[in-house]
Amino acid sequence: MNAYEEYMKSLANGMRSELTNHGFESLETSEAVDGYFNQVKEDETTFVVINSVCGCAAGLARPAAVTVATQNEKKPNHLVTVFAGQDREATDKMREYVAQAPSSPSMALFKGQSLVGFIPREHIEGRPVEEICMDIKEYFDDHC
């Protein structure tokens, strides 16, 4: 691993832990993503955060995701995350399931393997965290 990769990995570890410290499972390989979706039941919901280093949007996405996932009355059955730019194969595989234009950070809600909600970067960046929370809450309230 070169110096740049080591630096980015150490930087990303803190950002990853913002989610994993609050119950998100980090899926770091394409096999882990497939394995997860192969075992999830059709009536279960999964909230996915495609994490990123980007400060302008990810610095809003992570706090919003954690706030709603931990405080909303209706919650998904599962919380998972992949890290764009760090876990590339896992992120590419997750994007196959999401089936939307690549966007990081972004958030998705699944019922079984069916996408029922998606919040792309352009709906995160530049918005107040409270508005992002309300978008997530609406998906949770409708589908969880």
Q: Are strands 106-111 and 78-83 parallel, antiparallel or unpaired?
A: unpaired
Which one from 11, 56, 101, 134 is the annotated catalytic residue? 56
Give residue-wise pLDDT tens across range 121-133. Answer: 999 999 999 999 9
CATH number at residue 138: 3.40.30.10
The predicted pLDDT at position 57 comes to 85
For the whole model, what pTM was predicted? 0.94
Specify the higher pLDDT residue, 120 or 53.
120
The predicted pLDDT at position 58 comes to 84
Rg of the chain (C-alpha set)? 14
Which one from 32, 40, 48, 54 is the annotated catalytic residue? 54
- The residue segments making up the domain with residue 116 are 3-143
Number of domains in the chain: 1
Give residue-wise pLDDT tens across range 81-112. Answer: 999 989 999 999 999 999 999 999 999 999 99
The predicted pLDDT at position 136 comes to 98
133 is catalytic: no
56 is catalytic: yes
Among 12, 143, 13, CA closest to 78: 143
Mean pLDDT of 58-65: 94
